[in-house]
Amino acid sequence: MYLKSLSIIFLLFLISCKKELKTLSYSERYEKETYELINNALVSQVEKKEKYNIKYNKSDRQILEKPYSFYPHDKEIFNNIIPEEYLSKMDTLLKIKKWKVDKLKRFNLIHEKVPKDLHEIYLKDSYKKYRETCRKVIGESYVLLSNPIFIDNFNKAFIYTRTDGTGGDCLTSQGFYLYSKESGSWKLTRDLMIRDEN
């Protein structure tokens, strides 16, 4: 009897979740799925890339607050997994312009001006001054994440990540990843392309 009651409660919970998703607008659903993907599936990936920051007492979950923007040549990579109708609309798909701090509580957001300011120091001052400033402000690196491209009714997501190093132990690396939703959770399906330069 007890187990039967638990089963009924769980079933009602699943029904309420599905009903909630049905009432969301496309933009609300997009934002919800995006932050779930980043918070749950991308944490370990970011930590792996950001491991060099810990020795400078900086977060190992640092991402730039402004999402990465796709460029025309990126579309060559998409042809393998994304239907043509999505490719043609890629530039007009919904985009989050800046990540929200309250939605990414497990991450430390780097202001979009920081890389530009550091680059100015690199151009005007000595390399030593540049490295010292980097270590004080961000440590060794930070990660850029693109807005996901969802396909198959939000059951698959394509996302790009790039780690920008500041000239220390961690250098630039980048990758294109396909995630699939399995039993309500996002799982990495495959790496589409990755280049590590360290």
Instruction: Write the pLDDT tens digit of every residue in 18-74.
Output: 545 568 888 899 999 999 999 888 876 666 655 666 666 666 678 889 998 877 666
16 domain-assigned:
no
Average pLDDT of span 86-111 = 79
pTM score, two decimals? 0.73
Q: What is the pLDDT of residue 35?
A: 93
Structural domain for 180, as ranges: 24-196
Average pLDDT of span 86-107 = 78
14 domain-assigned:
no
Q: Which residues contact 188 (CB under 8 A, 6 or more apart)?
A: 41, 45, 177, 178, 179
152 domain-assigned:
yes
3 domain-assigned:
no
67 domain-assigned:
yes
56 domain-assigned:
yes
pLDDT at 198 over 50: no
Average pLDDT of span 144-171 = 79
Whether 62 and 107 have beta carbons less than 8 Å apart is answered as yes
Higher pLDDT, 78 or 121: 121
97 domain-assigned:
yes
On average, the pLDDT of the chain sits at: 75
- Three-class secondary structure of residue 91 per DSSP: helix
79 domain-assigned:
yes
Whether 33 and 96 have beta carbons less than 8 Å apart is answered as no
Domain tally for the chain? 1
Distance CA 174, CA 88 (A): 24
Nearest to 114 by CA among 149, 73, 142, 86: 142
